[in-house]
């Protein structure tokens, strides 16, 4: 296979955009490659990655050497398990591949203490496969105005019924769309879309506004927008692309906060177990207010409003990619604490987190696809000074 084709397939694999045919083609190349050929290709991937992250060359060489030397210490893996990365029948090379790909996805892990710990820990990656947990997916429950519920992940595509004059349907791409129903009614009808832990979902409201719900989130909205404003209520984390209508401002209500827009793209994170409500603006402008203060955000800005405190501030030059990573299919962290990381893990994999002893002060920077099994995430995190253990749907963490 031409080298340019291999590079193309590897690049698509890193972006989680391989089709089934392309992934099969890539795996066939891996299986057919000699250890020398595969090793050279992997070394090139690692060097390009470490160069992009400004990793010192000496450190990059030592880490790469440690990874490939690890194969001598490896033990055979159970035949039925197949690592979701470049896998070979020779476990030593497979371990090397898995580690390099994991580093490529998650980035150059950075901690509060000495970065050199990364090289020393690299050969100590633990195995969690026998107690693995699958990632979340498109799961949600739609509660209609009369209280009846529709489990969307089990329902067929097509019509889901009507609410007043509004038609509700589930599309082939797996989202709920509300159409019509703009005629004024005596009594508005409200629906609520709720995602569980381990779920996410999309909905298009009757005015054309597009909405994405993260795991453990909810959105309450009228089936048709009438009157002089469009008002919805939410919990958890929701991304909005609001259809423009200057005559009907769009308002998003969370606990202790209101966001008002005419037409714009923004993200609101308002989980109860977080300390602040974060509203991040991508384009247009929004007005954020609580009972005491108001701020008008410009693109690239973020407001932070305390849930149980009097915090109210605006942050400039926010990392938009990091804030929207969940919507784009990634975990992404920038100097995030262990607790911040694990709260995202808890919501997406629907697991409980238990800390034994003092909570580690490790901090993490990096990026990892959300469509990977929990074991792969814990392998990367375990390169820190933190120990993880899976017991059913519980992750036990010790410093």
Is it true that 137-323 and 330-398 share their CATH fold?
no
In terms of DSSP bridges, do strands 190-194 and 176-180 run parallel, antiparallel, or are they unpaired?
unpaired
Rounded CA gap, 46 and 86, in Å? 14
Rounded CA gap, 334 and 110, in Å? 9
pLDDT tens for each residue of 131-186: 688 899 999 999 999 999 999 998 999 999 999 889 999 999 889 999 986 666 66
| Residue 353: per-residue pLDDT | 95
| Residue 129: per-residue pLDDT | 55
pLDDT at 115 over 90: no
Please check whether the domain covering 137-323 is classified as CATH 3.90.470.20.
no
pLDDT at 280 over 60: yes
| Residue 158: per-residue pLDDT | 94
Give the other-Cβ count within 10 Å of 288's Cβ: 27
Mean pLDDT of the chain: 79
Average pLDDT estimate for 10-28:
70
Average pLDDT estimate for 299-319:
93
| Residue 332: per-residue pLDDT | 87
Q: Which of 369, 375, 370 is nearest to 390 (CA)?
A: 375
In terms of DSSP bridges, do strands 137-138 and 199-204 run parallel, antiparallel, or are they unpaired?
parallel
| 3-state secondary structure at position 99 | helix
| 3-state secondary structure at position 47 | helix
Asked if residues 110 and 363 have their Cβ atoms less than 8 Å apart, the reply is yes
Q: Token pair for residue 309?
A: 């405190």
| Residue 325, φ and ψ in degrees, nearest 5 | -55, -40
Asked if residues 223 and 145 have their Cβ atoms less than 8 Å apart, the reply is yes
Specify the CATH number of the domain 330-398.
3.55.50.30
Q: 127 or 47: which carries more pLDDT confidence?
A: 47
| Residue 343: per-residue pLDDT | 96
DSSP bridge partners of 330: 369
pLDDT at 202 over 60: yes
At residue 219 the predicted structure's pLDDT band, cuts being 50, 70 and 90, is: very high
pLDDT at 266 over 60: yes
pLDDT tens for each residue of 71-99: 433 333 333 333 333 222 333 344 444 44
Return the domain boundaries, the chain.
3-131, 137-323, 330-398
Rounded CA gap, 280 and 300, in Å? 7
pLDDT at 50 over 90: no
| Residue 82: per-residue pLDDT | 34
pLDDT at 227 over 90: no
DSSP bridge partners of 285: none
Asked if residues 122 and 66 have their Cβ atoms less than 8 Å apart, the reply is yes
| Residue 120: per-residue pLDDT | 40
Q: 37 or 197: which carries more pLDDT confidence?
A: 197
Rounded CA gap, 9 and 57, in Å? 26
| Residue 306: per-residue pLDDT | 92
Rounded CA gap, 165 and 170, in Å? 17
| Residue 49: per-residue pLDDT | 56
Which DSSP helix (H) or strand (E) runs through 6? Answer: helix 3-14
pLDDT at 15 over 50: yes
Q: Token pair for residue 183?
A: 């005629």
| 3-state secondary structure at position 379 | helix
Range with the poorest average pLDDT among 34-38, 195-199, 205-209, 344-348: 34-38
Which DSSP helix (H) or strand (E) runs through 200? Answer: strand 199-204
DSSP bridge partners of 202: 212
| Residue 46: per-residue pLDDT | 63
pLDDT at 3 over 80: no
Q: What is the dihedral of CA 191, 350, 237, 335, to 10 degrees?
A: 180
pLDDT tens for each residue of 328-370: 988 988 888 999 999 999 999 999 999 999 888 888 877 788 8
Q: Token pair for residue 158?
A: 């097509």
| Residue 126: per-residue pLDDT | 44
Q: 59 or 281: which carries more pLDDT confidence?
A: 281
């Amino acid at each position: 296979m031409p080298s340019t084709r291999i590079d193309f397939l590897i690049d698509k694999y890193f972006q989680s955009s391989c089709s089934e045919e392309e992934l099969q083609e890539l795996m066939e190349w891996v299986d057919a490659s000699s250890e020398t050929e595969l090793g050279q290709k992997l070394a090139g991937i690692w060097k390009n990655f470490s160069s992009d992250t400004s990793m010192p060359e000496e450190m990059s060489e030592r880490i790469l050497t440690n990874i490939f030397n690890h194969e001598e210490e490896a033990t055979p893996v159970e035949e039925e398990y197949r690592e979701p990365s470049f896998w070979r029948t020779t476990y030593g090379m497979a371990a090397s591949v898995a580690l390099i790909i994991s580093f490529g996805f998650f980035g150059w892990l950075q901690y509060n203490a000495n970065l050199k710990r990364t090289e020393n820990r690299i050969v100590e990656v633990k195995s969690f496969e026998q107690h693995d947990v699958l990632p979340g997916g498109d799961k949600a429950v739609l509660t209609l105005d009369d209280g009846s519920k529709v489990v969307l992940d089990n329902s067929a595509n097509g019509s889901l019924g009507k609410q007043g004059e509004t038609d509700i349907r589930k599309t082939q791409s797996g989202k709920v769309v509300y159409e019509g129903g703009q005629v004024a009614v005596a009594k508005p009808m409200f629906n609520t879309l709720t995602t569980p832990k381990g779920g996410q979902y999309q909905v298009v409201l009757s005015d054309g506004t597009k909405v994405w719900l993260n795991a453990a989130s909810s959105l309450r909205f009228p089936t048709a927008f009438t009157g002089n404003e469009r008002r919805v209520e939410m919990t958890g984390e929701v991304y909005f692309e609001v259809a423009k209508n200057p005559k009907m401002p769009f308002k998003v209500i969370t606990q202790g906060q209101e966001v008002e827009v005419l037409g714009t793209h923004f993200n609101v994170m308002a989980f109860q177990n977080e300390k602040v409500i974060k509203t991040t603006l991508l384009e247009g402008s929004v007005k954020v207010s609580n009972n005491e203060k108001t701020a008008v955000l410009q693109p690239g800005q973020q407001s932070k409003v305390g849930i149980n405190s009097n915090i109210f501030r605006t942050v400039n030059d926010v990392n938009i990619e990091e804030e929207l990573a969940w919507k784009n299919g990634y975990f992404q962290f920038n100097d995030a604490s262990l607790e911040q990381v694990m709260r995202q893990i808890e919501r997406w994999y629907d697991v409980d987190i238990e800390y034994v002893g003092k909570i580690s002060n490790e901090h993490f920077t990096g990026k990892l696809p959300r469509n990977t099994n929990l074991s792969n995430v814990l392998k990367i995190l375990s390169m820190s000074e933190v120990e993880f253990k899976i017991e059913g749907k519980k992750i036990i963490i010790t410093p």
